[in-house]
Amino acid sequence: MTQPAIIPDRLMARIFMLGKVGALEGGGVCRLALSDEDWAGRDLVCNWMKELDLELMTDVIGNTWAIRKGIESGPPVMMGSHIDSVATGGLYDGALGVLAGLEVIEALNDAGIQTRRPVAIGFFTNEEGARFAPDMMGSGVAQGALDLDEMLAVTGIDGKTVGSELSRIGYAGAAPVKAITPHCFLEIHVEQGPVLETENTAIGAVTGVQGISWSEYVIEGTSNHAGTTPISMRNDAGLVAAQIACETRAIADEFGPPQVSTVGMLDVSPGLVNVVPERAVMTVDLRNTDDSLLKQAEMRLNQAAEEFAKAQGCSVTRRCLARFAPVEFDSALVDMIADEAAALGHSVKKMPSGAGHDAQMFAPSCPTAMIFVPSQGGLSHNIREYTAPAEILAGVDVLMRVVLNQAGVVPRTEQKP
Ligand code: GLV
Ligand code: MN
Ligand code: MN
């Protein structure tokens, strides 16, 4: 068999070309889900898929995938990730998983390799959840974990709905929910954390994804004059928000790793120097690999929020934006990734993922695993996100070997013209 060869320059050229879509000054991208930039990114990737003679499909939530036929029909070995980004995204988060999959398929074409099973590459709608919550929306709907109609009705940070934006950009496809039933699912992704770099390790064989809980708290008080209103007579929504933010951090400090907690958005109104705030809206992101600890963290924060609000004569309401239980990946597939990495001479570490990924939505329905490559300085969701081409190549070589193993290579003597 001619060994399929990944061509790093071709892959990097595509990463940089996609990185020009929604490019930000100083580097990085803003391709919020279903925005004009996401639309242009999707069109670019679809054109590349078509150039490889793949069969394209788009489903009702805008997930798009392309299939390279095998000599047998049936569920494909599927690779995939996302091309939407946070507003301050890097070039690699998500894009790597999609474009590396495309490179694997092009390398199979170049080497004239036929596989027994089909091989597919997909991108999934709104993985980030930065414009429309929850995250992993497209893969969640595709796998039946999220309700299609509920998700189409979700209103984003700019007041537009998923359904209307999906139609506007022409990606409300015909394929139904659960149209994707892979033989297995593989996602290569940048680690987005400091572990691999710090430990000088080339490949992460990802064992699973920690649980994720996103909440929005809205605190209502009374706006009043900052100079004349005695401290004891205020209903200061801003103060309550600050107390909730400190409690959020205290939970992570007291629970210890792997509990993490983040207040990523805090909006106080009317937002004036001499006015006691009447309203605060804030988001809280809590994560833990242990679901019972995550539930404890959620309960403690909710209770504390009620107490802080009551003490200030304010009200507080909580809305769940996203809730995903921890997920374990398929141990045989994780082992295979670790073994293939070692066989290629790479150092490898089995590790959980701190970030959410489309792969976690596939894990309940088919064997699933992920490959991590290092992130320089552990930076991600930051325009300075960077992984060197040689580090990317190491991960994509592992991906290729696992794909070949799962799809099965047809010997020349058995090949069909
Ligand atoms: C997705 O990027 C997440 O928030 O983990
Ligand atoms: Mn990602
Ligand atoms: Mn991300």
Residues 78 and 146 in one domain: yes
Report yes or no on 59 lying in a domain. yes
Report CA(23)–ligand 3 centroid distance (Å): 16
Per-residue model confidence (pLDDT) at position 181: 87
Measure 381 CA to ligand 1 centroid, in angstroms: 9
Residue 46 binned pLDDT confidence (cut-offs 50, 70, 90): very high
From 302, 324, 346, the end of a domain falls on: 324
pLDDT band at 405 (very low <50, low <70, confident <90, very high): very high
Query: Across residues 276-303, what is the average pLDDT?
Result: 98
> CB burial class (10 A; 0-12, 13-18, 19+) of residue 134?
buried
Residues 261 and 175 in one domain: no
Mean pLDDT of 170-194: 96
H/E element holding 121?
A: strand 119-123
Top mutation candidate among 83, 128, 187, 260 for ligand 1, by most atoms within 8 Å of CB = 128
Tokens representing 80 are 């995939």
CA 29 to ligand 1 center in whole angstroms: 16
Q: For position 415, what pLDDT does the model report? A: 80
Which tens digit of pLDDT belongs to each residue from 72-97?
999 999 999 999 999 999 999 999 99
Measured from the CB, is residue 128 less than 6 Å from ligand 1? yes
Are 185 and 237 within one domain? no
Give the pLDDT confidence score for residue 413 in this predicted structure: 83
Q: What is d(CA 367, CA 377) in angstroms, rounded to the nearest whole number?
A: 31
CATH number at residue 40: 3.40.630.10
Q: Examine the fold and report which residue of 284, 301, 324 is the final residue of a domain before the chain moves on.
A: 324
User: Does one domain contain both 203 and 236?
Assistant: no
Percent of the chain with pLDDT over 90: 97
Residue 269: give its domain's CATH number. Answer: 3.30.70.360
* Pocket perturbation via mutation, ligand 1, pick of 83, 84, 96, 357 by most ligand atoms within 8 A of CB: 357
Residue 292 sits at φ, ψ, to 5 deg, of: -70, -35
**Which atom, in ligand 1's list, is nearest to the CA of 285?**
4
Mean pLDDT, range 311-326, rounded to an integer: 98
Residue 109 falls within a domain, yes or no? yes
Mutation choice for ligand 1 from 327, 360, 381, 382, CB with most ligand atoms inside 8 A: 381
Tell me if 204 is assigned to some domain. Answer: yes
For β-strands 260-269 and 279-288, DSSP reports them as: antiparallel
Cα–Cα distance between 417 and 404 in angstroms, integer? 20
Q: Is residue 387 part of a domain?
A: yes
Contact 261, 248 (CB under 8 A): yes
One domain for residues 192 and 246: no
Residue % of the chain over a pLDDT of 70: 100
Give the SS3 label for residue 30: coil
Peptide bond just before 134 cis, omega within 30 deg? yes
Q: How many Cβ atoms sit within 10 Å of the Cβ of residue 109?
A: 14
Is 135 touching ligand 1 by the criterion CB < 6 Å?
A: yes
Task: Please indicate whether residue 385, judged by its CB atom, sits closer than 6 Å to ligand 1.
Answer: no
If you average pLDDT over residues 118-122, what whole number do you get? 98
1 pLDDT band, cuts 50/70/90, is low
Average pLDDT over residues 369-397: 98
Q: Same structural domain for residues 232 and 97?
A: no
Between these two residues, 368 and 412, which has the higher pLDDT value? Answer: 368
Is residue 407 pLDDT above 70, yes or no? yes
Confidence category of residue 129, pLDDT binned at 50, 70, 90: very high
**For all residues of the chain together, what is the average pLDDT?**
97
CA 239 remoteness from chain centre: 33
In this structure, the residue with its CA closest to atom 2 of ligand 1 is: 128
Q: E strands within 270-367? A: 275-276, 279-288, 315-324, 327-328, 348-353
Number of domains in the chain: 2
Distance CA 139, CA 109 (A): 27
- Find the 244 Cα to ligand 2 centroid distance in Å: 28
Residue 180's pLDDT is 83
Per DSSP, helices labelled H in 35-136 are 36-51, 95-110
Which domain range does residue 222 map to? 211-324
Confidence category of residue 37, pLDDT binned at 50, 70, 90: very high
206: confidence class by pLDDT, cuts 50, 70, 90: very high
Largest CA distance in the chain: 90
pLDDT for residue 281 is more than 90? yes
Token pair of 1 as six digits: 């068999």
356 in contact with ligand 1, CB cutoff 6 A:
yes
Q: Are 94 and 126 in contact (CB under 8 A)?
A: no
User: Side chain identity at 389, as an amino acid letter?
Assistant: P
